[in-house]
Structure 1
Amino acid sequence: MKIFAIADLHFDYKKEKPMNVFGDNWINHEEKIIENWKSVVKEDDLVLIPGDISWAAKLEEALGDLSRIDELPGIKVIGKGNHDYWWATSSKLDRLELKTIRFLKNNSYEFEDIVICGTRGWDTMEEHSEDETNKKIFLRELNRFKISLDSARKAKKPIIVMLHFPPFDSNGLPNEFFSVLKEYETETCIYGHLHGEEGHKNVREGLIDSVNVHCVSSDYMDFNLKRIK
């Protein structure tokens, strides 16, 4: 089994949300992702998708995009992004009966010799120190992260963390999410969210304080999937 990752698919079944506001490289980005996906992923491979899956506002509207992903090769673990407004309760997601998709929501999944966990994350606390609503969201996501990690730790296997937001502050320094994944002795962390030239300036990758960190935003990788393991 190979493990690949790609975030920020931003699929749009209704074709109402063009992404080329971030640059001309986003033109026909869905077709690029699907073509590249089919060229490298086999049926027994694992694909991690940490958020911003579909522009749909409701679950029934997202089904077209989710079905396309379901039909692609590989087993997929999907996390929530800040634009996944269609995201629903675990019971509603399970009732979709998608064959190859697992939804990451306060839980974890074991695959052979590794375990996958994570959460959406949020903007760093320093950027919202005066905003009580954002502070509550940040702390709630941090708690969800710990719940997911607690679930993963029971497997006693190397942990791969999926976050949508980077685990770094606006200065590129590790934030509270990074501190937590260090506490749980996480081996690998992937994240997305950062787009365009300005966003990519804030990317941090590599071996950081003993954690292998990967930015897997689709446009950062020219809409290719990145092999993680």
Structure 2
Amino acid sequence: MIYAIADLHLDATKNKPMDIFGIEWENHEQKIFQNWIENVRNDDLILIPGDISWALKLEEAKVDLMKINDLPGQKVLIKGNHDYWWNSVAKLNSLGLNTLHFLKNDSYLYQGIAVAGTRAWSSKDSELFTEDDLKIYNRELMRLENSLKTIPNSAKFKIAMLHYPPFDLNLKPNDFFYILKKYEVNICVYGHLHSQGHKYGVEGDVDGIMCHLVSSDYLDFKLKKIWSDEIESNS
């Protein structure tokens, strides 16, 4: 099984109570972990597309990462816009958290299924989009392509993880989506959207790519199953 959930927004420091964003966020960490323990097996894969911890420094984030590491399953993580603690992959791997796999310009293979991805960036049609945003946007496009290029030819299925949606504010595919098409990605999972922002989410089959919005509050803090042998055989 492969599950996905984004925007865990864990906070070991207790400085960022999420319930200020709505009553549904009360005890959200407990809700996520309880559902995780009840459903996930050690041989399952969990995709976490960013905004993992509110920590500012890696040593603070390690407490949250250790909690995830101790949960069932193997986990693949990408950076979100709030993951300021994110460091070089070498530094992240040096933490010794053996069930966590941090993606950056590379991919991960699980039972013949390839997982690639990057943070992506905000939509170019946002009125707040600046020249500085454009530099980040273009760099993230390059990182996505670099990640997808590492997928081995033997991969039988391709999943892309993004933090930001691969759609503009008018719900049309953007440059990130077209790169996914170029590399024949089968499934795309993304997060970032909360509360009223859920209206900018696009789900279902979009030009041959199955898209899933997996922000934790959108999922009622429950992991979403995005792949299994049964799902594949019915697709």
TM-score by length of structure 1 reads: 0.96
- Give the whole-Å Cα distance in 2 for the aligned partners of 1:144 and 1:228: 24
Is the Cα–Cα contact under 8 Å of residues 107 and 116 in structure 2 kept in the other structure? yes
Contact 1:22 1:195 in 2 (8 A): no
CA distance in 2, matches of 1:158, 1:67: 29
Q: Which residue of 1 aligns with 2:231?
A: none
User: 1:99: Cα distance to partner?
Assistant: 1.5
Q: How far off is 1:60 after superposition?
A: 0.6
Alignment of 1:99-118 (within 5 A): 99-118=98-117
**Post-superposition shift, 1:56?**
0.3
Are 1:83 and 2:77 matched, yes or no? no
1:16-27 equivalences under 5 Å are 16-27=15-26
- Secondary structure of residue in 2 paired with 1:78: strand
- Kept in 2: contact 1:166–1:191 (CA 8 A): yes
Describe how 1:23-102 pairs up with structure 2 within 5 A. 23-102=22-101
The equivalent residue for 2:182 is 183
Structure-2 residue corresponding to 1:9: 8
Task: Give TM-score, length-normalised by structure 2.
Answer: 0.94
1:137 aligns with 2:128: no
- Quick check: 199-208 or 119-128, which moved more? 119-128
Q: Residue 228 of structure 1 aligns to a residue in which SS?
A: strand
CA distance in 2, matches of 1:225, 1:17: 22
Question: 2:98 and 2:118 mapped to 1: Cα distance?
Answer: 22
Distance 2:51 2:9 in 1: 6
Query: 2:217 is aligned with what amino acid?
Result: D
**Counterparts of 1:155 and 1:21, CA distance in 2:** 47
CA displacement 1:161-216 (0-9 Å, x = unmatched): 000000000111100000110111100000000001x1111111001111000000
1:210 corresponds to: 208
* CA displacement at 1:130 relative to structure 2: 6.4
| Partner-residue secondary structure (3-state), 2:151 | helix
Cα distance 1:214–1:130, how it changes in 2: closer, same or farther (>3 A)? Answer: closer
How many Å apart are 1:158 and its aligned residue? Answer: 1.2
How many percent of aligned residue pairs carry the same amino acid?
54
The alignment partner of 1:134 has SS state of: helix
Aligned position for 2:166: 167
1:98 is aligned with what amino acid? L
Amino acid in structure 1 at the alignment position of 2:176: F
Q: Once the two structures are superposed, what CA deviation does each residue of 1:62-81 show, in whole Å capped at 9, x if it has no partner?
A: 00000000000000001110
What SS does the corresponding residue of 1:126 show, helix, strand or coil? coil
CA RMSD of aligned residues (A): 1.2
Q: State the number of aligned residues.
A: 227
Query: What are the ranges of 5 or more consecutive residues in structure 1 without an aligned counterpart?
Result: none
SS at match of 2:11: coil
Deviations, residues 110-152 of structure 1 (Å, cap 9, x unaligned):
1112000000000122326862111000000000000000011
Partner Cα separation in structure 2 for residue 61 and residue 90 of structure 1: 17
**SS of the residue 1:116 aligns to:** strand
Q: Which runs of 5+ in 2 are unaligned?
A: 228-235
Distance 1:219 1:136, change over 3 A: same
